[in-house]
Structure 1
Amino acid sequence: MDTHAEPEQTRPDTIVSGPPIRRLFRDVIADRMPGRRPPQAVMLFGSKTDPCWDDRSFLTDFYNEILHQDTCQPATADGLALVVALALDERTPARQRFQAVDLLFSAATVAERHLAETWPATPQHADPDSEARARSAVQAHVPHLLGRWPAECPAVRLALAGLAVVFPTDRTLPALTPRLRTFTHQHPQGTDIGDYVRFVLVLAAQDGDRILAATENLTDAHWTGTARGVPIRARALHVLGQMLTKVGTGLTRVPAGP
């Protein structure tokens, strides 16, 4: 008689669940990525959880596992597939969809934003290959993400607009102008959202002189400055990243949408 016993497989319902947002994320990823998953998925499917996790602390740890302290590592590009899946799924709450798109923006602009911060020195933790792979990973999914615009709530549309101008095309400005018209009507210049959407439209126009002027004006008025020798795209994305963060902070104080 064969007395060898196969290792007992952990049943899904025996996995320690952790906070509610972890359970929801796990369900989304299980449905959208039924095959091989990136290594960061262990934070969703692993049997060990941090007993101190609540929704907020889990999200911080999960996002940091993918984009560690705002730097790209060799596994970052693969991990972004999890973020895209969460951003595309209606089951993900609007606030977390906003955070997912915001993280994709950050991953796609790491190189430029850090260059703007450290110019003329090389960013201390720069990994050009990993940064390029992360940028390409995000770019591959931008059409699918923007395709959700009609179904998205206003908060997520703001994040999508920022992502759109990271990868501008000849159709970016014609598409964004009508899509952002409601925001420009409701949020005047001088407000966080009003300034953000107007700067997005300037970037979408791809006019170097206008981008430089807007970047200078916004930096002088509100935002952390960068050296004038920094390439203008890097300076502009550095400012846009700050603005998107500020918009997101404001959204935590009001309902983000359904």
Structure 2
Amino acid sequence: MNTSAEPEQTRSSAIASGPPIRQLFRDVIADRLPGPRPSQAAMLFDAEVDPCWDDRSFLGDFYNEILHQDTCQPDTAAGLALLAALAVDDRIPARHRFQGVDLLFSAATVAERHLAETWPDTPPLADPDSEARARRAVQAHAPDLLARWSAECPAVRLVLAGLAVVFPTDRTLPALTPRLRTFTHQHPQGTDIGDYVRFVLVLAAQDEHQILTVTEKLTDAYWTGTARAVPPRARALHLLGQMLTKVGASLTQTHAKQ
């Protein structure tokens, strides 16, 4: 039997199905969302595949299809179901679960973060209706995500903590202090994770004066500032988003070195 064509067939099959992360995402979404899927799922299931995709470029395109350049559009809310489904499945590597929850955090806080950035002007790409629907969509997924705390790795717990203070409840906020105690012991103040965790705990305490004081202290020392006239919650979430981005970058660098 002539098998000389088999390597070429294998390469063709790989191109047709896309990079490995696309195949994994498709399998998970097929299992978890068997019914009608949001339009963004076409990037997982369409027969046409960008031959230039590797894992990294596919992820960039896929995430941007859901939350386009950190803005909410009319179909953003529906697409967030894909991120939530991926974030609760253990077949998905932890770094991608982290990214999924991070994007959910971003979608839920778009309006406030952009308000803080552009104050007193209206954010140029604001879509209040789409932003509100995206926020409600994330809030609906939050209980299932937070319920995974005990099963999650430390990295994903960090981003879940950020999500918890976006949607505070009488049940979740008191739980954050004991849940984050290990992080505060392991990561001193002045480190990326240490400052992030301590700021999450400040937000969980819901003392507006303390939140404003710590926001200004951290902003003056490390982060892109916001106008003092901006509503305190918007300033705090803008800062928290910056801190979470830096924590994610640090974790990515650590993973790359392993």
- The letter of the residue matching 2:246 is K
Q: Secondary structure at the residue paired with 1:253?
A: helix
Please give the alpha-carbon distance, in whole angstroms, between the structure 2 residues aligned to 1:123 and 1:61: 24
- Give 1:227's aligned residue: 227
Deviation, 1:16, is 1.9
- The letter of the residue matching 1:152 is E
- Give 2:101's aligned residue: 101
- Give 1:90's aligned residue: 90
Equivalent positions of 1:1-258 (< 5 A) are 16-255=16-255
Give the superposed CA RMSD.
1.3
- The letter of the residue matching 1:103 is L
Please give the alpha-carbon distance, in whole angstroms, between the structure 1 residues aligned to 2:171 and 2:255: 31
Which whole-Å deviations, capped at 9, do the CAs of 1:2-26 have from their partners, x for residues lacking one? xxxxxxxxxxx99921000000000
User: Percent identity over the alignment?
Assistant: 81
Change (3 A) 1:178 1:17: same
TM-score (norm 2): 0.93
Q: Secondary structure at the residue paired with 1:255?
A: helix
Which whole-Å deviations, capped at 9, do the CAs of 1:112-148 have from their partners, x for residues lacking one? 0000000000000000000000000000011100000
- The letter of the residue matching 2:80 is L
Q: Secondary structure at the residue paired with 2:189?
A: coil
Please give the alpha-carbon distance, in whole angstroms, between the structure 2 residues aligned to 1:53 and 1:104: 24
- The letter of the residue matching 2:47 is S
Deviation, 1:255, is 3.2
CA contact (8 A) 2:164 2:173 kept: no
5+ residue gaps, structure 2, are 1-12
- The letter of the residue matching 1:197 is V
- The letter of the residue matching 2:238 is H
CA contact (8 A) 1:70 1:107 kept: yes
- Give 2:8's aligned residue: none
Please give the alpha-carbon distance, in whole angstroms, between the structure 1 residues aligned to 2:151 and 2:173: 20
Change (3 A) 1:180 1:249: same
CA contact (8 A) 1:15 1:46 kept: no
Q: Which structure: greater helix fraction?
A: 2
CA contact (8 A) 1:15 1:47 kept: no
Deviation, 1:169, is 1.6
TM-score (norm 1): 0.93
5+ residue gaps, structure 1, are 1-12
Please give the alpha-carbon distance, in whole angstroms, between the structure 2 residues aligned to 1:34 and 1:121: 43
